[in-house]
Structure 1
Amino acid sequence: MIYRFRVILDNDVDDDVFRDLEVRETDTLEDLHNIITQSFGFDGTEMASFYLSDNQWNQGEEISLFDLSDEEGSARLMSETTLNEVLHESQTKLIYVYDFLSMWTFFVELADIVEETSGVDYPNVMFIHGQIPDIAPEKDFDFEEEFDEFDEFEDDLDIEDYDNLDFDENWN
């Protein structure tokens, strides 16, 4: 069987940028990684990971390109994970992050499962829409809401008032 994917660049860009790809269900996530990087014009030399995702695009278990964990063999690897192990009709979404310094983030969705077409080489780029920007879209990590209740300076201490600070300045 052939898995058809739509791979969408994180929606923090002005224009829609996506690729429609076809990959055999028995190919690995590393094969999917390779066609994604090629179809978006990356050289494929940076670290990358897939994350299992639910229907609300919440990030789940990581499946990485290389094992960088402290305990060898504890990481799930792309090269050892076939598409049909992690994706099926009820589990259709992955998050893909390429280049952890730039944080190129893509939403990968299994759109269809079809029969293999004779004469077509797989993996296959079916459709290209939009051009990837020169730099990765900035992420808007809104931590302000999370920390509204905590203000480390709310006690109004005057740090210039050494006489009333609670420490011994000659501790050494």
Structure 2
Amino acid sequence: MVYKFRVILDAEEDIFRDIAILEDDSLEDLHNAIFNSFGFDGMEVASFYTCDDTWNQEDEISLFDTGDIIGEQKIMSDYTLSEILDQENTKIIYVYDFINMWTFLVELASIEEQTTGNTYPETLFSHGEMPDEAMEKNFEADMEHESYNEFEDDLDEDDLDMFESGDNFEDFGFEENWN
């Protein structure tokens, strides 16, 4: 079977690609198809994130094993598309380049029979031009205090200064030529 995805860049303008890929291909194959269809060079780190129906991010599936014990963490190449996505679970988030945070909403649009003679993955349709820079993300956290200034009022002067003038690093175990 062929999975047909719409991959939408999280941006103000409508920028998306429709991609067809085999259901037994890996998430890494989908990663390659996405960065190629959007014109990236593929030299940056990326991750997929499972999500619910309203795009709330859940579990990360990274390109490389970043766990404490090598081989314990499953990565993109360990998952086939059909293991992660189906007619019930159609959405996944893709983030390319963790410095610029290019974020894409990836939705399974249809599952169809494979067309003889077609090469997969295939970019079926392309709409919109990529901007020069990723859209700025507004990361917010729930905080007990509404502003830093209120938080700052709760701190002693000693809490704000890590080192007094004249302190040296020898007391902390740093060697002069540590590298």
Indicate the TM-score class for this superposition, using the shorter chain for normalisation: 0.7 to 0.9
TM-score (norm 2): 0.81
1:61 deviation in Å? 1.2
Aligned equivalents of 1:138 and 1:65: distance in 2? 23
Q: Is the 8 A contact 1:51 1:60 kept in 2?
A: yes
* Residue 167 (structure 2) aligns with: none
Aligned equivalents of 1:101 and 1:67: distance in 2? 19
Aligned equivalents of 1:86 and 1:14: distance in 2? 28
Aligned equivalents of 1:133 and 1:37: distance in 2? 14
Aligned residue among 17, 20, 39 for 1:19: 17
Q: Is the 8 A contact 1:22 1:126 kept in 2?
A: yes
* Residue 140 (structure 2) aligns with: 142
* Residue 167 (structure 1) aligns with: none
Residues paired across the two proteins, number: 156
1:66 deviation in Å? 0.6
> RMSD between aligned alpha carbons?
1.9
* Residue 89 (structure 2) aligns with: 91
1:155 deviation in Å? 4.8
- The SS at the match of 1:153 is helix
1:147 deviation in Å? 2.4
Give ranges in structure 2 of 5+ residues lacking alignment: 158-179
* Residue 71 (structure 1) aligns with: 69
- In the alignment, structure 1 residue 4 sits paired with structure 2 residue 4: yes
Aligned equivalents of 1:14 and 1:86: distance in 2? 28
Instruction: For residues 100-144 of structure 1, give each alpha carbon's deviation from its aligned partner in whole angstroms, at most 9, with x where no partner exists.
Output: 11111100000100001112111110000001111111001234x
| Alignment-mate amino acid for residue 2 of structure 2 | I
Aligned equivalents of 1:122 and 1:156: distance in 2? 59
Aligned equivalents of 1:137 and 1:48: distance in 2? 17
Q: Is the 8 A contact 1:97 1:105 kept in 2?
A: yes
1:14 deviation in Å? 2.8
- The SS at the match of 2:151 is coil
Q: 1:34 to 1:152 in 2, by over 3 A?
A: same
Q: Is the 8 A contact 2:5 2:106 kept in 1?
A: yes
Q: 1:34 to 1:156 in 2, by over 3 A?
A: closer
Q: Is the 8 A contact 1:62 1:76 kept in 2?
A: no
Aligned equivalents of 2:72 and 2:49: distance in 1? 16
1:34 deviation in Å? 0.4
| Alignment-mate amino acid for residue 7 of structure 1 | V
Q: 1:101 to 1:156 in 2, by over 3 A?
A: closer
Q: 1:88 to 1:148 in 2, by over 3 A?
A: same
Q: Is the 8 A contact 2:2 2:22 kept in 1?
A: yes
* Residue 53 (structure 2) aligns with: 55
Aligned equivalents of 1:71 and 1:24: distance in 2? 31
1:156 deviation in Å? 9.0
**Bigger shift: residues 35-44 or 147-156:** 147-156
* Residue 132 (structure 1) aligns with: 130
